[in-house]
Structure 1
Amino acid sequence: MQGTSGMKVMAGWLLSLMLVVAGFIGTVSVLNSTLYSPGYQVEEYFNALRSGNGERALGLLNASVPEGSAAVLDGAPLQRGASAVQDVEIQEPTAAGQDRVDVPVTYRIGDSDYTTSFPLEKTGSEWLFFPTWEFAPSALPTVDVSVRDMAESTVNGQRIATPEGRNTLPTFYPVELAAHYTSEYFAAPSRTLPVTSSTPADNALPLEPAPTAALVEAVDGKIREFLDSCAARAVFQPADCPFNYQTSQRLAGEIQWSIQRYPEVRIEPVDEGWALAPLAGSAQLDTQLQDLFTGAIEDVSVTRDFEFDARLTVTNSSVTVAPVIEF
């Protein structure tokens, strides 16, 4: 009876040991496919992007940062860029050499579907059973933002300096960069650029500012002010003005100029910045002239078409128009 009882105890211990071993193996298997899997590292990287934690994202990606503005590498600008990445699915890793795998990730930005593969390396193990994975070393991609001769622009809600109209932005991926330019006198509509790899085929984000209605109105006002001041002069040839009248007859009444057609203001881009297209209009002269031979006095009303150029200077706070008169 004692032998039978001992065998039962031993069998119980063996069964318990087998259950413990099976549980341990199951736990190792689960951990290897989750917490210690290469896919888990990729998932953590995406979580860091979504939370705007650039420091953690950079550490996970194991990437160096090229020279340029760090404006979109952290905080709200990074969150905005990552929020455009939707329907993220991390796929099963594929072998890419000894102790290396590629982890494909599918996602959508706007109306387009993308796949980005992240290379990871096995760097060792923990507690003998759990492999450790890290992203293969790389460098962040860069995007060139240009905005003609404007000194700043806005990318993902963050104002950035654009010396000589351009700047280079290192960025994480996948994200979407959205840039625009807005000021009182010039504006460029928003443009977006998906960045989906460390070596993007397209890394240019050009903005095309155009004059605002406020600038056209300001220039138009200065042109009208200049022409009105010319018309207010009671002489046949107002100095430094684009219109005049020549006659050999004697003046017999008042000289009255009036602007019949003001020039249409068109502001055009040039290599140096912005320029006014040639300005054309017409003025009317009303006066009385006396014939030198007959002494007869005649009412005169003539229209004088004119053209002239003007130099345009625009700053953040002022608009200057300098007419250029040549005969």
Structure 2
Amino acid sequence: MSPPQPSDSTPAGRRPRLARDLVVLGIVGVLLAGAVWAGVAVIGKQFYSASAFVERYLSLISEGRASEALAIPGVAVDSTELDAAGLPPYASDALLRRAAMAALSDVSIVSEVEVPDATRVTVAYRAGTYEGTTVFDVVRAGQIGLAPTWRFGTSPLAVMDLVVKGSMTFEVNGFEVDKRQVSPDGVDADPLAPVAMLVFSPGIYSVAVDTAISATPGVAVVSDSPFTEIPVEVQAHATDEFVAVVQDRVEEFLTACATQQVLQPTSCPFGYYVQDRIASLPTWSIVQQPAVTLQPEGAGWVIPPTDAVAHIEVDIRSIFDGSVDAVSDDVPFIVTATIAIAPDGTATIAVGGPDTR
């Protein structure tokens, strides 16, 4: 008997079943590939997109992590870049620190769109009570494996150009700054010249003066436009305590003037003019002291022209007939003064007036 020969026929129903299985496997493969691709896209958007790059920067500045924020590619700038952008090349970095920063809240990505040579990311946020939006341009810096890397095409820093009148020192978000420390002129800094300081954008900065001599409520400054200049002017006013001290010193000065028994007390803002001769030594008193007010001027202060009244008692002998008249007159006069503030905070008061010699 010959051995059995293999059949070249397939059992009924096997071919359709195999085809169906292959179709199912193909569909599963496509679905798995789609799921993997979708997962990669989600991960890429969450961790490696331009928006994720910007969110990382915003998270750092909101948490006050200034040094880490400055280390993000495209944030830090040098004087050459500032000058090329028309910004003060000598801008100080004194405010690029945790102590001078305020937190952001409600940060969210509004949009991410491709523009020529960059990806434009718009974010919304709350800075204090201010609700704002800021636009960042970021560019591809390379990639690590399949993941792209980014850098800011335009630095998110801005420059606050701050003029503080009435004080050489001020506070920004509670951080104390002396103009002479941040000005390129150092100790020779012009008290009225603006000081340029780099700030993070977006950010909110409260500028205030709070010294024994002068004070002002905080002025809120919002930095919401990268690489722009923000002009700010703050006018400090003399404190009540300082005005009271100056009032006392002026009164002491005028009272001392009144002890001089002459018609024209030396270096004093009042005097009495006669064409005859005096028959007794004049006696002076101050019957109305000036009501001192202070106005800022440069690094110091001035007392604007202020009314006061002295009183003189003196006997006058006539050069015509020798008769003597007892004179008792009020003598109105004007007081002015300049108050210079030394670097150590001490004040020097120089009282003057129309009759001061």
With normalisation by structure 1, the TM-score equals: 0.79
SS in structure 1 at match of 2:111: coil
Distance in 1, matches of 2:299 and 2:174, equals: 28
- Number of residues of Structure 1 aligned to a counterpart in Structure 2: 316
**1:237/1:74 Cα in 2 relative to 1: closer, same or farther (>3 Å)?**
closer
Matches within 5 A, 1:1-327: 20-60=32-72, 62-66=74-78, 67-78=90-101, 80=102, 83=103, 85-97=104-116, 100-109=118-127, 112-128=130-146, 131-139=147-155, 140-148=157-165, 150-163=167-180, 164=189, 165=191, 166-200=194-228, 203-241=230-268, 242-244=270-272, 246=274, 248=277, 250-251=279-280, 256-270=283-297, 273-286=300-313, 300-315=327-342, 316-323=345-352, 325-326=355-356
Distance in 1, matches of 2:214 and 2:291, equals: 19
Distance in 2, matches of 1:18 and 1:309, equals: 91
Instruction: Give 1:91 shift.
Output: 2.2
Instruction: Give 1:190 shift.
Output: 1.9
Q: Which moved more, 1:45-54 or 1:261-270?
A: 261-270
Distance in 2, matches of 1:263 and 1:74, equals: 47
Q: Percent identity?
A: 22
SS in structure 1 at match of 2:346: coil
Gaps of 5+ in 2: 1-10, 79-89, 181-188
Provide the aligned C-alpha RMSD in A.
3.7
**8 Å contact from structure 1 (residues 249, 292) kept in 2:** no
Q: Which moved more, 1:266-275 or 1:206-215?
A: 266-275
Instruction: Give 1:175 shift.
Output: 0.5
Instruction: Give 1:154 shift.
Output: 1.6
Instruction: Give 1:18 shift.
Output: 5.9
Instruction: Give 1:23 shift.
Output: 4.1
With normalisation by structure 2, the TM-score equals: 0.73
Distance in 2, matches of 1:256 and 1:69, equals: 59
**8 Å contact from structure 1 (residues 249, 290) kept in 2:** yes
Instruction: Give 1:113 shift.
Output: 3.9
C-alpha distance after superposition, 1:144-176 (max 9, x if no partner): 122247433221222223132342111221111
Distance in 1, matches of 2:317 and 2:107, equals: 89
